[in-house]
Amino acid sequence: MTAQVLVYPALIVILAVFLLITVPRDEFRLLVPYGVVLGGLVDFLFDRLFSSLFHVFSYTNLGMFGVSGQLLLAPLAWTLIIVFYLYFWPRDHRYLGYFYILAWSLLATGYSQVVLQLEMFSYLPWYYPLPMLLLFIARFAFVAWFGKRWTRPE
């Protein structure tokens, strides 16, 4: 196994440890279903749509974490990312939310470059940076809109 295959497990461990330290148990339990649906399921559908149907991108060199050309750990990573994203959402500052969405979209676009440089991911040249960034903005905006229904327990 090469070190590049350990990028997603390392991301998952870092996110899980950080979430367990910062997010209270009651809120974590409330946010995990949002993470599973808005993170893992949406990522799976997004991957299937853009990789299998449109052939915009594909995973390469997945090692033991690859299943049928898909990365097995990506939905789990997105689940934790969405839990993290929703927990720290700036509820009291409406306009700060726009910058929050943009910041997370830039972070996701940048992370895709890390995975690309490690040769775990490839995509058509026209897809980066603007179309990818716009899709991440739409994705995080949808999560924010849908996640508004979640309220913190008092």
Tens digits of residue pLDDT in 86-97: 999 998 888 999
Q: What distances in angstroms separate CA 115 from CA 6, 71, 89, one per listed residue?
A: 11, 12, 26
What is the reported pLDDT for 4?
74
Helical residues (DSSP H) of 23-129, grouped into ranges: 25-34, 42-47, 74-87, 94-117
CB contact at 8 A, 137 and 70? no
Q: Work out the average pLDDT over 97-115.
A: 94
CB contact at 8 A, 69 and 60? no
3-class secondary-structure state, position 122: strand
What is the reported pLDDT for 93?
85
Closest among 71, 50, 52, 68 to 4, alpha carbons compared: 71
pTM of the prediction?
Answer: 0.89
Q: Work out the average pLDDT over 53-77.
A: 78
Return the amino acid letter for 78.
W
Residue 61 has pLDDT above 80, yes or no: no
pLDDT above 90: percentage of residues in the chain? 53
What is the reported pLDDT for 25?
93
Q: Which of 2-11, 33-42, 51-60, 62-71 has the lowest mean pLDDT?
A: 62-71
Banded pLDDT at 39 (limits 50, 70, 90): very high
Mean pLDDT across the chain, nearest whole number?
A: 87
Q: Work out the average pLDDT over 93-118.
A: 93
Residue 129 has pLDDT above 80, yes or no: yes
**66 sits in which H/E element:** strand 66-67
